[in-house]
Amino acid sequence: MKNLIFYLILVFALQSCENKTKKSTEFNSKLKNSTEINSIPTDFQSLLRPDEKLKLGKIYTDTLKYVTFDDNGDNWLVFVKKNNDTIGLVYNKEQTYFKSGDEIKIEWKMDSIRNAGDSDFLDYKEFIIKIQKTKSNVAGRNFNNIENESFVISCGTGCAMTYNVKKITQINSNTVKVVFQIEQYIDEELTETYDETYIFRNDQNNTIEMVTDNGKNENIKEMLFGGALQSFQNFGKKLMQ
């Protein structure tokens, strides 16, 4: 009987501790959420509108100069130029279809973000909601940085093809023609050298076509896969910057 009484007292004590812990955890969680809400600033600043006090979540519209797109970090960023400042805005898309100097109109807002590796810190950044080009940069591109570019793709077991840039011609603001001198190697021995011409278009699909003798160009996305296709696409990104 004594053992039973002792067991009942022990069970009651454990349940009491568990309830206190649960209540304490719930209270701490509510306190943390309440603290975060109460600590949200009411006004924000941005180099996009340096003389204004901005509101969280309010949508703003601005016309700016496009600089570049960066997909190397945890958040994809579109860099724009306003006066003498270059500003990075969060843009949750895989890529853009503009070139440096294009005039763009964006709808954007200030929003909260938790950066990877520091999820406890609540930060605030400019987010792009919508972006469109209003005027192309019609100035010719400078291809000096890639005129000696080359890349290698595999063409099967023991076979490799080196694509060396031979000539680059800008057709218009969104289209560039590139002539490659191709060196074909079989078991590391040069077996053939010839030229091929490709058209790179900075459109919604980032189209790359191989110019053929019959006048009907071939889309390389239907010809190449994996690393070979990626090599062409990486070159196209450099070409259109």
* DSSP letter string, 78-120: EEEEETTEEEEEE--SS-----TT-EEEEEEEEEEEE-TT-TT
Residue 150 has pLDDT above 90, yes or no: yes
The model's pTM? 0.51
Contact 124, 111 (CB under 8 A): yes
Is the pLDDT reported for residue 26 higher than 80?
no
What structural domains and CATH numbers belong to the chain? 60-135 (2.40.50), 150-240 (no CATH)
Write the pLDDT tens digit of every residue in 181-223: 999 999 999 999 999 999 998 776 778 999 987 778 999 988 8
CA–CA gap between residue 80 and residue 84 (Å, rounded)? 10
Query: What is the per-residue pLDDT for 27?
Result: 42
Higher-confidence residue of 80 and 16: namely 80
Whether the Cβ atoms of residue 122 and residue 36 lie closer than 8 Å to each other: yes
pLDDT class of 238 with cuts at 50, 70, 90:
confident
Dihedral sign of CA atoms 65, 69, 73, 75 in order: positive
Higher confidence at residue 68 or residue 93?
A: 68
